[in-house]
Amino acid sequence: MRKNKNKRQPAKRKAASQTQNSKRPCSDSPKRTENPQLTPFEIFFKEIEKFSKLHMKDRDRVQEILQSMQKAGSKTLQVISDFDMTLTRFEYNGKRCPTCHNILERSDAISSDCKKKLQELLDKYYPIEIDSTLSVEEKLPLMVEWWTKAHELLVNQKIKKAGLAKAVKDSEAKLRDGYQYFFDHLNEHSIPLLIFSAGIGDILEEVIRQTEVFHPNVKVISNYMDFDESGVLKAFKGELIHIYNKKEGALLNTGHFQELRTRTNVLLLGDSLGDLNMADGVQDMENILKIGFLNDKVEERKQSYLDSYDIVLIKHETLGVPNAVIRFLTDSN
């Protein structure tokens, strides 16, 4: 897997922007209110249940998982997360926010004809991706077809590596509110964060670099661009990662999970049912708490998400709940 060549240092604490002009939002994490008459779990659930868009099929099961993770301690914890529409916002002020692919597709690096063709692919394949009446087996070849065609179009554009930073800077990409606490707190407690994305790794890294949260504890598995000696895109590296083959991607990166063999407790964040397989490479896993963001086609997909994720956040644009979980597990030690 491609490594970031630039040495990553902990982000400086200063006002920064998700786009170049807007200030970082404050941490969206409920403040713990001490009450000697309540147990730590009662306090925790009282805090997260303030989020009206939070749903749990089995509250007792969530408490059981958290109790076991708390007992094991934060040194056994790792976080595995999707990126697009999980760590990033789905929409802002009623307008859809761009994914990693969208950032590039909407930039000056892409011709108008290519933009039109990429939009046609999106219009054709996205409804298939979120169609609850189709099985994963039915969707899989179509997702491969979508990603392959999109990447071929991008390669033909002769995109320059030097232009990626500007494409991100000029975009409307936004991490979810509370992102600074999420990234900083994990780093401060030396908790590994694996971002597992079917997007474009080069763009993903640039987004978190420009928001100054690309800390040393972050590892990215994604689709990376391959540039020639002149810095022009010539291909995409390695095996294609798409929304429904993250299990295979996880199993191909056993070296990463081997290094974290003592991190047997997992907090998993995703926005699709395909994200549920991101932790399949974790060795000797003891507990996994799965938080799912249901952003679109809510009524059609709500039950399947409740059946698959421990906590479901419906049309919720913050990291408040994951932040509360992380703080609970770290502050309890």
Evaluate whether 157 touches 326 at the Cβ level (below 8 Å): no
Instruction: Determine which one of 28, 84, 177, 271 is catalytic.
Output: 84
* C-alpha torsion sign, points 275, 240, 122, 155: positive
Over residues 260-305, the pLDDT tens digits come to 889 999 999 999 998 999 998 888 999 999 999 999 999 999 999 9
Q: Band of the pLDDT at 25, cuts 50, 70, 90?
A: very low
Alpha-carbon distances of 208 from 157, 165, 173, 328, rounded to whole Å: 25, 11, 10, 25
19 pLDDT above the threshold of 50? no
Q: Which pLDDT score, from 0 to 100, does residue 228 have? A: 96
Q: Which of 20-34, 61-75, 253-267, 301-315 has the lowest mean pLDDT?
A: 20-34
Token duo for residue 14 = 């200063």
CA distance 333 to 77: 12
235 pLDDT above the threshold of 80? yes
Domain ranges for the chain: 40-329
CA distance 250 to 260: 13
Q: Which of 56-65, 88-97, 202-211, 324-333 has the lowest mean pLDDT?
A: 324-333
Compute the average pLDDT of residues 106-135: 92
User: Which DSSP letter does residue 244 get?
Assistant: T
CA-based R_g, the chain, Å: 20
- pTM comes to 0.86
199 pLDDT above the threshold of 50? yes
Over residues 141-153, the pLDDT tens digits come to 999 999 999 999 9
Q: Band of the pLDDT at 23, cuts 50, 70, 90?
A: very low
Amino acid at position 220, single letter: V
Compute the average pLDDT of residues 59-86: 96
87 pLDDT above the threshold of 80? yes
Instruction: Determine which one of 82, 177, 275, 310 is catalytic.
Output: 82
User: Is residue 271 among the annotated active site residues?
Assistant: no
Domain 40-329 belongs to what architecture? 3-Layer(aba) Sandwich (3.40)
**What does pLDDT average to over the chain?**
88
Alpha-carbon distances of 207 from 6, 25, 84, 103, 256, rounded to whole Å: 15, 16, 11, 10, 23
User: Is residue 275 among the annotated active site residues?
Assistant: no
Q: Angle at CA 183, nearest 5°, toward 211 and 130?
A: 85
